[in-house]
Amino acid sequence: MKITMLGAGSGFTQPLATDILHLNSITSGTFALVDIDGERLALARKLIEKIIQMMGKDWNVIASTDRTQVMGDSDYLINFIEVSGVDTVRYDNDIPLKYGISQCIGDTIGPGGIFKALRTVPPWLDILKDAEKLCPDALVLNYTNPMSIMTLAGIRSSCMPIIGLCHSVQGSSKQLAGYADIPYDELKWRCAGINHMAWFTELSHNGRDLYPELKENCLQSSLWEKDPVRFDMMRHFGYFVTESSGHFSEYVPYYRKRDELIDLYCREGYLGGRSFYANEWPTWRKNKDEKIARQLNGEEEIIIKRSHEYASIIIEAAETNQPAVVYGSVLNEGLVDNLPSNGVVEVACMIDRNGFNPCHFGSLPPQLAALCASNMAVYECTVEGILNKNKDAIYHALMLDPLSAAVASPKEIQLMADELFKAEREFLPDFV
């Protein structure tokens, strides 16, 4: 067993490695850690080695700043690279803000998401080219945002089997059980759509539809304030969506186009705070590195409980051929009947020794499909622009973005794009 983790300085490394070490069916193996930042790579290696020792496992750790030196013959590639680190966070946020585009997270949709794609997709495709030569049989698990764009570009460019993984489906289903005051194991649900915009089209308990009661109860302030944007969308569009109120407010044109609307529907932090990610991400990154240093020095406890991330579930199911179900981003190909078949959707996928086996969902309610399709058009133009070096397609992606289109004219959006191209030129492909 060999598992290569790309971008090992990421916060994903510790929980995913810990999850894998919890698998009783896999008793030994090698973690191959890769990061172009040698200092952060060294911290990650020491932390994983310490966790292996704490758990009494027979695993080896190798590490390199050059992925080609360690990824050969990998069984699994787990990708969570962060291209440009924190160097472009303020550009992604502040330049669009000049044009009235207020972002909360801005890393999967909107100007921030599209420019993150421009920085991240080219290295991602280089990784996949190396994988085709060095570990052609590996399953590829992508955690890097912008999830839908990364997955779509990878599928169109590589023969490697790729699935995009997030925690919004399992996290939101647990939140819904809490909102409905239902034991999670007793909650029945179906979900499909696109990453960060998948919809719980069924929500029931012992045959009872939970939506009527939830739509009524959410108007109580104590519940409403926990998720105002998502509850408002549920009341008007009929169903609950998988992404947090703050991040989801960027996917639709309704909530962030005027200050009074932001004040009415959004709250601080993950509930929709203005420039939240740009203000906090540099500090989070620094704090995480300092936390690892304290853990290595014995000054802070290392938590080794299993998380609800999907990577270890996939690995166990593929290795033991004991089928398991996860929700992942995959090529549609008729899985969701009323979304573009050549786009990427997020649906239930059965995992076994044959790898990723996406499950047919059927049709989404038309109003939900329309919202998903509007974002899929942005992803399509972005991937078209990157793969075919078509700068106009990037302009079009920004103009089609629901948040940008809600507040800026096509001319203003093009001027904004040109400012971003200039500010971030060090990290962008030559064609822009």
Whether the pLDDT of residue 340 is over 90: the answer is yes
Classify residue 169: in a domain, yes or no: no
Classify residue 134: in a domain, yes or no: yes
Structure confidence by residue, pLDDT tens digits, 182-202: 999 999 999 999 999 999 999
Q: What tokens appear for 68 in the block?
A: 């080609």
**DSSP conformation letters of 63-112:** EESSGGGT-TT-SEEEE---TTTTTTHHHHHHHHHHTT---SS-SSSHHH
Whether the pLDDT of residue 88 is over 90: the answer is yes
Determine the Cα–Cα distance for residues 364 and 192; give it in Å rounded to an integer.
Answer: 8
Q: Are 417 and 425 in contact (CB under 8 A)?
A: no
Classify residue 347: in a domain, yes or no: no
Q: What tokens appear for 200 in the block?
A: 């719980």
Half-sphere exposure of 271 (CA within 13 A, CB side): 13
Structure confidence by residue, pLDDT tens digits, 14-29: 999 999 999 999 999 9
CATH no. for residue 138?
3.40.50.720
Q: What share of the chain is helix, strand, coil (3-state, %, to 5)?
A: 50, 15, 35
Give the phi and the psi of residue 349 in degrees, each rounded to 5: -130, 125
Determine the Cα–Cα distance for residues 263 and 93; give it in Å rounded to an integer.
Answer: 19
Give the phi and the psi of residue 337 in degrees, each rounded to 5: -60, -35
Whether the pLDDT of residue 123 is over 90: the answer is yes
Q: According to the model, what pLDDT value does residue 85 have?
A: 84
Q: Which amino acid is at 305?
A: K
Q: Is the pTM of this model over 0.85?
A: yes
Classify residue 27: in a domain, yes or no: yes
Classify residue 201: in a domain, yes or no: no
Nearest to 41 by CA among 1, 2, 4: 4
Q: According to the model, what pLDDT value does residue 19 have?
A: 98
CB-based burial of residue 404 (10 Å sphere; 0-12 exposed, 13-18 middle, 19+ buried)?
buried
Q: Are 26 and 59 in contact (CB under 8 A)?
A: no
Q: According to the model, what pLDDT value does residue 331 have?
A: 98
Q: According to the model, what pLDDT value does residue 109 have?
A: 96
Classify residue 56: in a domain, yes or no: yes
Q: What tokens appear for 291 in the block?
A: 């936390």
Q: What tokens appear for 288 in the block?
A: 């995480």
Strands 208-209 and 240-241: unpaired
Q: Which residues have CB under 8 Å from 112's CB, separation 6+?
A: 92, 93, 96, 103, 105, 106, 277
Q: Are 131 and 161 in contact (CB under 8 A)?
A: no
* Over residues 156-164, mean pLDDT: 98
Domain count, the chain: 1
Q: How far is CA 241 from the centre of its chain?
A: 15
The residue count of the chain comes to 432
Q: Read off the pLDDT band of 247 (50, 70, 90).
A: very high
Determine the Cα–Cα distance for residues 196 and 193; give it in Å rounded to an integer.
Answer: 8
Nearest to 279 by CA among 92, 145, 409: 92
Classify residue 62: in a domain, yes or no: yes
Structure confidence by residue, pLDDT tens digits, 32-54: 999 999 999 999 999 999 999 99
**If you average pLDDT over every residue of the chain, what do you get?**
97
Helix (H) or strand (E) holding 26: none
- Give the gyration radius of the chain's Cα atoms: 21
Nearest to 101 by CA among 418, 399, 427: 399
Q: Bridge-partner residues for 142, per DSSP?
A: 79, 164
DSSP 8-state secondary structure symbol assigned to residue 256 = S
Structure confidence by residue, pLDDT tens digits, 363-376: 999 999 999 999 99
DSSP 8-state secondary structure symbol assigned to residue 220 = S
Q: Bridge-partner residues for 187, per DSSP?
A: 205
Classify residue 276: in a domain, yes or no: no
Q: What tokens appear for 153 in the block?
A: 């570009």
Which positions are catalytic? 167
Angle, CA of 321, 322 and 328, to the nearest 5°: 90
Give the phi and the psi of residue 29 in degrees, each rounded to 5: 165, -170
* Over residues 160-167, mean pLDDT: 97
Domain that holds residue 77: 2-87+111-162
Q: Which residues have CB under 8 Å from 356's CB, separation 6+?
A: 139, 161, 163, 314, 328, 330, 349
Q: Which residues have CB under 8 Å from 221's CB, separation 6+?
A: none
Half-sphere exposure of 193 (CA within 13 A, CB side): 28
Determine the Cα–Cα distance for residues 74 and 96; give it in Å rounded to an integer.
Answer: 41
Determine the Cα–Cα distance for residues 101 and 404; give it in Å rounded to an integer.
Answer: 6
